[in-house]
Amino acid sequence: MKPILLVLLFSAVVYSCTNDKKEKKDSTPPVAEKKIDSTLVTDSAWGLVTATTDFDGLKSIYGAANVKDERICGPECIDSIDVTKIYAETPREIIVYWKDSAYHKSIGMMDCDGEGSPYHTATGLKTGSSLRDILSLNGKKITFSGFGWDYGGYIQSYNNEALEKSSIHFRLDLMEDDGTELLGDTELNTDMPAVQKKLDKIKVYQLSLSFHKEDN
């Protein structure tokens, strides 16, 4: 075989191998980008919102038309609080409390409440979940304030069990009021017989996330 034919044959083999490798490489499916659940609340994020998200960041995430400042009543309406509302007056409403309300640079807390709110934890807790659901996840008694007043229903302690160090907090409400033993400025816990009877009737009214440990 003439040298020129050997060169051409060798070149064809090299080209074929190179082309096969390229085709195999090109045929590799692209890695799918991980999608973040915008309704998932974790210890460090509310959907796409993190501790470093500012006002412009909220508008970028939710759309400028859905992000508005508002002044609301504080506890007992003694003081007013400047907040930012997202999707105001809808089931998807979120209230943002700023550490620096004048500058909107640092979020202190976010919360949601009301029936039909889509926000949830990785374990499935959300508004409408029962106190029994929370107790099952915590593994030990839960202490909370009595119902029917401005500070009612706040969980005060998980008694050093599973949920104690979480940055996610819950406010409870009594879905049916057939007596006064769970009402008022008093401390209740899930070991009490009166509470045990109502574990499925006491529901999560509000879900909140504190972005700074000192707020917990």
- Longest Cα–Cα distance in the chain: 106
The pLDDT score that the predictor gives to residue 45 is 97
**Between these two residues, 19 and 184, which has the higher pLDDT value?**
184
Residues 132-142 have pLDDT tens digits of 999 999 999 99
- Domain-wise residue ranges, the chain: 55-215
Q: Tell how far CA 204 is from the center of its chain.
A: 14
Is residue 31 within 8 Å of 81, Cβ to Cβ?
Answer: no
The pTM assigned to this predicted structure is 0.80
The pLDDT score that the predictor gives to residue 25 is 52
Residues 31-71 have pLDDT tens digits of 556 688 999 999 999 999 999 999 999 999 999 999 999 99
Residues 143-193 have pLDDT tens digits of 999 999 989 999 999 999 999 999 999 999 998 766 678 999 999 999 999
Q: What is the mean pLDDT of the chain?
A: 86
**Between these two residues, 14 and 208, which has the higher pLDDT value?**
208
Residues 101-115 have pLDDT tens digits of 788 999 999 999 988
Residues 69-112 have pLDDT tens digits of 999 987 767 788 899 999 999 999 999 999 987 889 999 999 99
CATH architecture for residues 55-215: Sandwich (2.60)
Listing DSSP states for the chain in one string gives: --HHHHHHHHHHHHHHHHHHHHHHHHTSPPPPPPPP-TTBB-SS-BTTB-TT--HHHHHHHH-GGGEEEEEEE-GGGSSEEEEEEESTTSTT-EEEEESSTTT---EEEEEEESTT---B-TT--BTT-BHHHHHHHH-S--EEEPBSSTTTTBEEE-TTSTTTT-SEEEEEEES--S-STTBSS-EEETTSHHHHTTTTTEEEEEEEEESSGGG-
